Amino acid sequence: MLSFNRLWAIVYITILALLAPAAGFAAKNAKPTKNAKPAAPQSTVYKVRLNSSFGDAGTRKLTLQGNKFLWEVATAGMDLKLIKNDDGLFMIGRTPYIGKYPPGSKNESPMALFPGPIGNVKEFLKANSAKSLGKATLNKKSCDVYEYKEKVSGWKCKLWLDPKTSEPVQLELSGPNKADNATATYLSYKLNEKIPATTFDLPKDKKIRPMPEPKAGKATDKKAPKKEEKPK
């Protein structure tokens, strides 16, 4: 009588023998698969000139691909960059250090930096429930005009579009105070540009320092009111 272990070995070998031809047939008839590279995330690159209630506020440039972006601010006396990559969000200025934002910073969204369109403008307007204001003339050019409230930043916006290209021409921003109001003139707006991977790399000659988290007031910080003493 065969032992249990020997019987199991015979059964195992028999199963392998039955499966081998099927495996060979599948291998012969399988169609070769190409090593297709995943499509690169869509990119948006734009540059605007900003005018605020204080006058010329310089330029802003966004280079965005997927969840990474480079935000460049060029203003008299203050040039800085924000870079978001797989390691986090960083601020680079004229100091010898790179500031790293704490995780979950609102600036991780480029919409918090500037509430203008990203990607396909028509789709952006639809996502923000924009309202058409019809047509208006801007610098002797007929434009389609829309208004919307950007969902991330909360800014109220009025956008002029080129009717032929559907590219933004001008954006008016309205904040809670009149001093917050500004006008952005688009100098360029490009989609699906090829962006070098090094665009989102940090400079190697600077050290990284964590930026302090914003302090939030605590209810426990408030002193309890003193109890009135009853006259004896």
pLDDT at 216: 53
Would you say 73 and 60 are in contact if contact means Cβ atoms under 8 Å apart? yes
DSSP codes of every residue in 19-88: HHHHHHHHHHHPPPPP-PPPPPPPEEEEEEEEEETTEEEEEEEEEEETTEEEEEEEETTEEEEEEEETTE
The residue ranking higher by pLDDT, 178 or 230, is: 178
Q: So what CATH class is 43-210?
A: mainly beta
| Token pair 């688009």: residue | 186
Confidence of residue 212 (pLDDT cuts 50, 70, 90): confident
Beta bridge partners of 185: 49, 170
| Token pair 């060029």: residue | 74
Domain boundaries, the chain: 43-210
Confidence of residue 3 (pLDDT cuts 50, 70, 90): very low
pLDDT at 144: 98
pLDDT tens readout for residues 41-72: 689 999 999 999 889 999 999 999 999 999 99
Q: Which amino acid is at 221?
A: D
Confidence of residue 5 (pLDDT cuts 50, 70, 90): very low
Give the global pTM: 0.74
